[in-house]
Amino acid sequence: MCRSIKTLRPPAIPDDATEDEIRAAALQYVRKVSGFRAPAAHNREVFDRAVDAVAAATAELLAGLEVRGHSREAAPAAPHGD
């Protein structure tokens, strides 16, 4: 796999991945799979659509993952029984 694609979920990164980080990973993936660093003009449209699709799938995956020990939102402290 591409060594330049980094893990985009906590705890590998402290916060949620940014759109730029997700797009960069998608671009690296499509480059690797296609074998093109920069596609020729006649392949540009399909290349860009693939990057968009991979980025969307990546964002959906990251949004749906439940990672132990990491909460997406700070939960209020549970009240102690008095």
Answer yes or no: is 26 within a domain. Answer: yes
Count up the domains in the chain and report the number: 1
Answer yes or no: is 74 within a domain. Answer: no
What crossing angle do the helices spanning 19-34 and 41-64 adopt, rounded to 10°?
130
pLDDT value at position 72? 54
Please, are residues 26 and 62 in contact by the beta-carbon 8 Å criterion? no
Q: Looking up tokens 């093109």, which residue turns up? A: 36
pLDDT value at position 76? 42
Quote the domain boundaries for residue 34.
19-64
Answer yes or no: is 14 within a domain. Answer: no
Answer yes or no: is 2 within a domain. Answer: no
Per-residue confidence of the chain (82 residues) as pLDDT tens digits? 456 778 888 777 778 889 999 999 999 999 999 999 999 999 999 999 999 999 999 999 999 988 877 665 544 444 455 4
Please, are residues 55 and 23 in contact by the beta-carbon 8 Å criterion? yes
Answer yes or no: is 12 within a domain. Answer: no
